Amino acid sequence: MDRKLTKKELLKLVEGLLSDFEVWAPAGNEKVYSFSRIEKPEEISLGYRNTVTSPKNVFFPSGETVYRLMEGRPATGEASEKPKLILGIRPCDARAFLMLDKVFGGDIEDTLYTSKRNKSLLVGIACNEPSSTCFCTSVGGGPFSTDGLDVLMVDLGDGSYLLRGLNGRGNEIISKCGSEADKASLDKAESLDRAAKEKMEISFKPPDSLESSEEYWKKKAMACMDCGICAFVCPTCHCFDLVDEGGCKKRIWDTCTFPLFTIMTSGENPREERRDRIRNRVYHKFSWFRQVHGEIACVGCGRCIASCPAGIDITELVNGNNK
Amino acid sequence: MSAIVDELRKVAAGLLKSGAVKVVIGYENEAAPRPVFLENAEDAEKLVWNDRCFHNLARYLNTTEGKAAIVAKGCDVRAVAGLIREGQVKREDVVIIGVDCAAQTESGEKLGKCLVCDCHRPEIYDHLVEDENALVEPQTDPYGDVSEIEAKPVEERLGYWLGLMERCIRCYACRQVCPLCYCKECVAEQSLPKWLPRSPDGKGNLFFHVMRAHHLAGRCVDCGECERVCPVDIPIRTINRKLIRDISELYGYKAGVELDVVPPLTTFKPDDPEDAFR
Amino acid sequence: MRPTNIFIPTPARVAGIARETPDINTYVFELEGERFDYLPGQFVELSIFGVGEAPFCIASSPTRNGGIECSIKKMGSVTQAAHRLLDGDVVGVRGPYGNHFPLDEMEGKDILFIGGGIGMAPLRPAIQFCIDRKEKYGTILILCGARTPADIVYKGELEEWAGTGDVYVTQTVDPGGETPGWKGRVGLVPKVLEEMRPRTENCCVITCGPPIMIRFTLEALQGLGFHDEKVYTTLEMKMKCGVGKCGRCNIGPLYICKDGPVFSLKQLKEIGAEI
């Protein structure tokens, strides 16, 4: 189903969604956009390129309570919440959730994640203007990819939006708003899609086998400062720690780039060397995840490239010495 | 601009060729400069210099192997001096290639730290790459923003900081990028005893940042790297500069300028104004 | 029904504390509510509420029908807190996690157990399991090493095992660690192993101990002619979630907590694990 909405009609649609869903959307000041829970349609900012942090915090927050201790025992009982709806998610980030679903779902279901993720709805916005660090088309996605989305919105550039329902649930929420999309709008969306793909500055084919020499990774890792930016802004990085704090068990983000991530109480550290940590992160995404789940665990959002304090570019690490 | 780059490359090539240093730490990639570690004289061609050479390369001095030469702006040199002063690096093990720097810019605007910079020419160096045009006067009151926040009532001030700190995702980039944050084990990660929570929330994050600022009191050289790299745009420099100003007012001390002056917080005098120390 | 949160542990009471060495205690935990089935080699995540959670191998055999036992060496924050536990205190237990020693495949064979220090803990349930079903197994050889006689765990049980028919126990301490009256061997585990010259025919090996001991023991075993697929060890890796999601304990694409912790030497070589 394809509907065409004016900006005003879009805001009205959001207003309606707010009563049935917990709506998360990009919002923030001029510098820092992040996915936040919104109460009013006006808080949403769809004009951004991409948020600094990914929307993974909606289902996998940087810190969350696993259980509370009551009289020295874990107290159960989860509050039921409205289903979550992410509005204005980029296609790359939507694909990332399909990957996180594989990690947190599977034989041993992680309900901390799945209880938030189940029944959620993803309303994406196509990327008319990819950033210089974007490379979704190199890793199986695209600026207009619909993978993982229920609705894809396209900013037609004239103050109106094309909303494409991609399944029953998606169609249901958009069926009553705006008007049926005309052919001109559909053509426009198609040409925007083509133009966006042409604008991608980075394009490569991920190699089947990555560089493996110690020397290579040592050199590539030299500038790394062991911070957690790349992993924390990444939509597919999912490492975490469990800590006992403030009378609760909490789950917090963690990352294989932190030197202490793998240190054991005995003092032994299997990834003591920086080269091994960087190698682990890249191999996990471009080799091991692929072996286990059949796809690359990188969606090409480019956040790690844009935010790395040392200017490390994951596409260079993947592509070896040739680039 | 190109004369500066030429000279940089010449100095670097010379140092590598003669074997005076094992590695030259500088910047590569004209469009978006980033750290580079050169071990061969032929690679000196890779060096670049422009107004986006943000990184304080002093960060890498105690993680590189062998004697190193470092390309350093005035602020970076102060961090090198701090490392020397604190015994992290030996003066004779580092060759400082100082570069005159007018300002670093982002989207055409000077960085905040550069507006108040009073060290456009490095104070300590082995080689100086000069740029007379770089020697400009500081433009604004260096502590204007600090005074502004201090003037707020305490509740409001706390609210202001908690609001900002709620964004912190504990990536620890501020700490990792800091040349003076070189502790092998940061109190933020100690488990025996555990000093502060690791789960991110406004109060815990504020605790971390204030703790870090205090550990940097009298040591921070205001290179501004912590604030530059913060992915969620927390004005970390403001906290550090509050302490820089206090240290300056209380002790007349400025970190990273002279190698032979004992920093006030690492020494003791019987007439210390603080009762607790007497 | 909604699946329950996998990170919520089952409360368990401390039902017994045995002092093994100056810094190792064995705790018996009685689960509140339903017991779980497990096999030797599996581990649990033990929560000391308010302090933290850490993985411990289950040190008791399911054939004994008792509580879950864990031998805990006092080292970090969780283990220090564990050493402050008293009878009746409540802890949390999640599990069992990981794979197990292939004791079913080892039926009809001789088994050589080689343990060093606290590394005896994962071997204990397997030894108990085999002794309790002795008719299914051949000769059982146990080589147990420690720094000093005082550092040997399960002292009483070692005597008991040695008194069982067709079970042979060799104890050794590191050179210089022997005390007056020490009746066992003196020498590092790999060296004593070489001197023992165990028969390799129809014999499987299960070993665990500190990394340095494992490295040289595996070398010694290969030197003695044991095939890689007959030698098993259990890996110590930083583990947290226990279910292959938190990302810490991987070696390549494998998660030690889910795909291990038990591996044959053959598998270890295939995944390129550094031993």
The secondary structure of chain B as a DSSP string is: -HHHHHHHHHHHHHHHHTTS-SEEEEEE-SSS-EEEEE-SGGGGGG---STT----GGGGTTTS-S-EEEEE-HHHHHHHHHHHHTTSS-GGGEEEEEE--S--EETTEE-HHHHT-S-SS-SS-SEEE--GGG-----S-TTHHHHHHHTS-HHHHHHHHHHHHTT-----HHHHH-TT---SS-GGG--TT--S--S--HHHHHHHHHHHHHHTTTT-----HHHHH-TT---HHHHHHHHHHHHHHHH---TTS-SSSPPGGG---TT-S-GGG-
Residues C88 and C50 in one domain: yes
- Whether omega for the bond prior to residue C261 falls within 30 degrees of 0, making it cis, is yes
Which pLDDT does position B181 carry in this prediction? 95
- Residues of C with Cβ-Cβ distance to A241 under 8 angstroms: 240, 246
- Indicate which CATH number applies to the domain containing C31: 2.40.30.10
Which tokens belong to B66?
């062998």
Interface of A with C (CB under 8 A): 66-67, 69, 72-74, 76, 78, 103-104, 108-112, 114-115, 238-244, 247, 249, 251, 254, 256, 261-266, 268, 270, 280, 283-284, 287-289, 291-292
Whether residue C41 is contained in a domain is answered as: yes
> What is the rounded distance in angstroms from the CA atom of residue B92 to the CA atom of residue B67?
9
* Pair (C203, C135) in one structural domain: yes
Q: What percent of chain B has pLDDT over 90?
A: 77
Q: What is the domain count for chain C? A: 2
Last residue of a domain, one of C200, C219, C234: C234
- Among A291-300, B112-121, B258-267, C248-257, name the one with the lowest average pLDDT: B258-267
pLDDT band at C3 (very low <50, low <70, confident <90, very high): low
Last residue of a domain, one of C68, C97, C126: C97
The answer, yes or no, to whether residue C273 has pLDDT greater than 70, is: no
Residues C143 and C230 in one domain: yes
Residues C56 and C119 placed together within one structural domain of the fold = no
C239 or C272, higher pLDDT: C239
Residues C144 and C229 occupy one common structural domain: yes
Instruction: Look up the domain containing C123 and give its range.
Output: 110-234
Which of the four pLDDT bands, split at 50, 70 and 90, describes residue C275? low
User: Is C103 part of a structural domain of the chain?
Assistant: no
What is the pLDDT, as a whole number, of residue B266? Answer: 81
Q: Name the region of A72 (left: φ>0; alpha: ψ -120 to 50; beta: rest).
A: left
CATH 3.40.50 residue ranges for chain B: 3-134
Alpha carbon of B172: minimum distance to chain C alpha carbons (Å): 19
Q: Kindly report the nearest CA distance between residue A63 and chain C, in angstroms.
A: 14
> Within a domain: residue C20?
yes
Residue C66 falls inside a structural domain: yes
* 8 Å CB contact of B192 and C80: yes
C142 shares its domain with C198: yes
- ipTM of the modeled complex: 0.91
Is it true that the peptide bond before B231 is cis, omega within 30 degrees of 0? no
pLDDT at position A77: 64
C91 and C120 together in one domain = no
Q: Which residue of A has its CA nearest to B205?
A: A63
- Judge whether residue B1 has pLDDT over 60: no
Q: What is the pLDDT of residues C230-262, one digit of tens each?
A: 999 998 788 999 999 999 999 999 999 999 999
Cβ-based neighbours of C265, under 8 Å, separated by 6 or more: C218, C221, C222, C228, C229, C231, C232, C233
* Positions in chain A short of pLDDT 50: 322-323
pLDDT at C168: 95
Is C245 a domain residue?
no
- Shared-domain flag, residues C119 and C193: yes
CATH number listed for the domain at residues B3-134: 3.40.50
C229 in the same domain as C120: yes
pLDDT for the residue numbered A323 = 42
Alpha helices in chain A (DSSP H): 7-20, 91-104, 111-117, 168-174, 183-199, 214-221, 229-233, 274-283, 289-293, 303-307, 314-319
Task: State residue B277's pLDDT score.
Answer: 65
Looking at residue A48, its pLDDT comes to 66
**Amino acid letter, C186:** V
Same domain, C50 and C83: yes
Check if B264 contacts A (Cβ < 8 Å). no
Q: What is the pLDDT of residues C183-198, one digit of tens each?
A: 999 999 999 999 999 9
pLDDT(C1) > 50 = no
Assess if residue C148 is contained within a domain.
yes
Give the type of residue at B204: G
Q: Which two tokens stand for residue A247?
A: 């009378």
Q: How far is CA A126 from CA A93, A189, A194, B63, C255, in A?
A: 11, 9, 12, 43, 36
- Tell me phi and psi for residue C171, to 5 degrees: -110, 140
**Closest Cα partner for A224 from B40, B230, B78, B34?**
B34
- Chain C residues closer than 8 Å to B194 by CB: 77
In a domain, C141, yes or no: yes
Q: Is residue C274 part of a domain?
A: no
Specify the pTM.
0.93
Q: Is the same domain home to C88 and C135?
A: no
Please identify, among C234, C253, C270, the residue that sits at the C-terminal boundary of a domain: C234
For chain C, what is the mean pLDDT? 93
Q: Of C77, C238, C240, which to mutate for an interface test with B (greatest number of B Cβ within 10 Å)?
A: C77
How near does any CA of chain B get to the CA of C74, in Å? 13
Instruction: Answer whether C246 sits within 8 Å of A239, measured CB to CB.
Output: yes
